[in-house]
Structure 1
Amino acid sequence: MNHKAGFVSLIGKPNVGKSTLLNAMIGTKLSITTSKPQTTRKKILGILSSEDYQIIFLDTPGILNPEYLLQERMLDFVVSSVKDSDVILFVVDIKNDPTGSKTFEDERVKKILDEATQPKILVINKIDESTPEVVENLKNVFIKKNIFTKIVDTSATMGINISQLIKEIVYLLPIHPKYYPDDQLSDENERFFVSEIIREKVFEFYRDEIPYSTEVEIEEFKERQTGKDYIRANIVVERESQKPIIIGEKGLAIKKLGKIAREEIERFLEREVFLELFVKVREKWRSNPNMLNRFGYKVEDND
């Protein structure tokens, strides 16, 4: 009768460690992570179940100033996630914003937090890269502002205070039966996670604008009773000039990308796969509504 369950949005500026924090709380790698901002583009749902509670986390893209339609859709994912939530985790990177001024002077951040009536937890992340004095100063700043129900300092990469954060979340959740079976970790299928793994490797492997201009589309996914599963994926770029960069001289770059992506996919699926990668050009796909809908950047209207 006292079982708790609810939806918890992880929001914040780009590259503050939201996805790493989600993975730390879930206890497995669900959301892709790289050192580059804007790695997360969609709302990723992750489920943490126990006998007494179930937390449905919504990992969201970073709050930014949209420069093209894809980024507008990414911001829409943040807003819709907040509307769907029982609790909000606002994550700030103390290493890059020790006073909080860069984050909380952002008009979009202010608007989202002002309009959200749910309990809000401020998560001060990356404390392993700061000092106790700086952490304490930032805490005091936000205690005075009275925006947040609770403030928790963490290091997602080091696992510091993760269990404490989970306790604070559970305390704020409503009494409710489980939404999902105990053994379910997400609502996404294997195809989605395979495409995200390949995209993660693109972010890690290529520089400058290339990662931001690419999308990964799974064209074929065959599970086989005998032999390796077959996966055919397209790496979509915006311009013809980007295609040879992805492929590399004599195809060496895409071969290396395919190898590291395949190894990660096999770890995730816990079975062997045969992965084929192809490069397709779709002009200005990031500003094309039809292409964005096809790639899954469509925010459902729940009203």
Structure 2
Amino acid sequence: MSKDEQESYPEVDADFKAGFACLVGRPNAGKSTLTNALVGQKVAITSSKPQTTRHTIRGITSTEHGQLILVDTPGLHKPRTLLGERLNDLVRETLLEVDVIGFCLPADQRIGPGDQFIAAELAELRRGRRRPVVAIATKSDAVDRDRLAEHLVAIDGLGEWDDIVPCSATRGDQVDTVAEVLMSHLPTSPPLYPEGQLTDEPEAVMIAELVREAALEGVRDELPHSIAVVVEEMVPREDRPADNPLLDVRVNVFVERSSQKAIIIGRGGSRLREVGTTARKGIEALLGQRVYLDLHVKIAKDWQRDPNQLSRLGF
């Protein structure tokens, strides 16, 4: 942090805490939804489809007592492709760098092999390099009180945790408590980011994620793992009045097969228009200006298994 940025916090007390937290959990455990709820604004994409998070998104939440930088990660899972292996490696690398880990276990699902796999990984990490781990019972609104109590007991028996906290990110229940508990495990430090900043993710990455989120809705279960999005160009439209600018954004959506391309485009291009409309609204809200979104769907055959194509697509 620069001197000017530090001076934007003139009254930071000696007990102020700041640091990084990573939310882990099996796919679709509510990590991205909780990240957005803690930050108070969408900084990570959400979907009903598993394994939709591809990049670590830093969401920043600041209070008068601390600053929590949230790193969202893909769900840890048994990899079936080179992409899956790289996503798992990304999670493990992130765990070694953060100050506290939040392990998300959805209350509407029983503890299963996926949770046990992650718990074993975290236990190994704690033996090698001590990191506080907070178990978070997400989606508490989806079950009744008795089922939630049963879930909390199961979590307690799954491993050794520094804290256990139930919450509902969609309803806002105990989200503040989750933030307070995670912050309690951070080191004493001045703020790491300027006040008011919510993420440090580049705009192009955020735009690509918004397009991919829109493309994921309402498609077949196998399609999410085959979609990659790359922002090719962001150029202000020439000859526009200063008080009404327009940004031209050209985006390529990559899939692995022609049949998947047909799904994304839809009959007569209807589905692609829906994707564009939904994504454009999110992009305009992110950038605070009007956007012309130019979407193109392309085939990159078997890109998830091709190291050269993975690198080209940002993995």
Counterpart selection for 1:115 from 125, 134, 138: 125
- Determine which of 15, 23, 41 is the counterpart of 2:54: 41
> Residue 125 of structure 2 contacts residue 131 of structure 2 at CA under 8 Å; is this kept in 1?
no
Does 2:17 correspond to 1:7? no
Q: Give the TM-score, by structure 2 length.
A: 0.88
Match of 2:101 in 1: 88
Task: Tell me, yes or no, if the aligned pair for 1:92 and 1:124 is still in contact at 8 Å.
Answer: yes
CA pair 103-65 structure 1, distance change in 2 beyond 3 A: closer
User: 1:109/1:284 Cα in 2 relative to 1: closer, same or farther (>3 Å)?
Assistant: farther
**Post-superposition offset of 1:186:** 1.4
Task: Assess, with a 3 A threshold, how the Cα gap between structure 1 residues 35 and 176 changes in structure 2: closer, same or farther.
Answer: same
Cα offset for 1:212? 2.0
| C-alpha separation in 2, matches of 1:144 and 1:33 | 29
Matches within 5 A, 1:99-178: 100-106=111-117, 108-116=118-126, 117-143=130-156, 147-178=160-191
Q: Are 2:286 and 1:268 equivalent residues in the alignment?
A: yes
- 1:300 — aligned with what? none
Distance 1:142 1:247 in 2: 43
Partner of 2:275: 257
Cα distance in 1 between the residues matched to 2:60 and 2:73: 14
**Cα distance in 2 for residues equivalent to 1:47 and 1:251:** 38
Task: State the secondary structure of the residue aligned to 1:118.
Answer: coil
Cα 1:2–1:102 change in 2 (3 A) is: same
Amino acid at match of 1:12: G
Residues 54 and 178, structure 1, Cα contact 8 Å, conserved in 2 = yes
CA displacement, residues 47-67 of structure 1 (integer Å, 9 cap, x when unaligned)? 112232111111111111000
Q: Letter of the 1:65 partner, please give it.
A: K
Residues 82-140 of structure 1: CA distance to partner in whole angstroms, max 9, x if unpaired? 1011111000011012xx2444433x541233323211100001111112222223323
Amino acid corresponding to residue 89 of structure 1 in structure 2? G
User: 1:146: how far off?
Assistant: 5.5
Unaligned stretches of 5+ residues in structure 1: 298-303
Cα distance, 1:40 vs structure 2: 0.8
Inter-partner Cα distance in structure 1 for 2:114 and 2:300: 34
* Residue 294 of structure 1 pairs with residue 281 of structure 2: no
Conserved 8 A contact 1:9-1:81: yes
What residue number does 1:239 align with? 257
What secondary structure is seen at the aligned counterpart in 1 of 2:199? coil
2:279 alignment partner AA:
A
- 1:178 Cα offset (Å): 1.7
Q: CA distance change for structure 1 residues 213 and 104 in 2, over 3 Å: closer, same or farther?
A: closer
- Could you tell me whether the CA contact under 8 Å between 2:49 and 2:221 is conserved in 1? no
Q: What are the Cα deviations for residues 201-233 of structure 1, in whole angstroms up to 9, with x where unaligned?
A: 111042232232111111111135643100010
In angstroms, what is the RMSD of aligned CA positions?
1.7
Correspondence for 2:11: none
Match of 2:98, SS state, is coil
Are the counterparts in 1 of residues 116 and 158 from structure 2 also a CA contact under 8 Å?
Answer: no
Distance 1:248 1:115, change over 3 A: same
User: Is 2:41 the partner of 1:28?
Assistant: yes
Q: Distance in 2 between matches of 1:272 and 1:19?
A: 26
Other structure's SS at 2:105 match: strand
Measure how far apart 1:144 and its partner are: 5.1
Percent identity for Structure 1 against Structure 2 = 37
Post-superposition offset of 1:267: 2.1
| CA–CA distance in structure 1, aligned partners of residues 50 and 157 of structure 2 | 30
| Letter paired with 1:185 | L
Q: Tell me which stretches of 4 or more aligned residues in structure 1 moved more than 6 Å.
A: none
Q: Which runs of 5+ in 2 are unaligned?
A: 1-13
Instruction: Tell me how far 1:145 sits from its aligned partner.
Output: 5.6
Comparing 231-240 with 137-146, which one deviates more in the overlay? 137-146
Change (3 A) 1:142 1:245: closer
SS in 2 for 1:37: coil
Letter in 2 for 1:31: A
- Alpha carbons of structure 1 residues 253 and 87: separation in structure 2 relative to 1, 3 Å: same
**Which residue identity lines up with residue 111 of structure 1 in the other structure?**
E
**Shift, 1:171, TM fit:** 1.4
Alignment partner, residue 247 of structure 2: 229
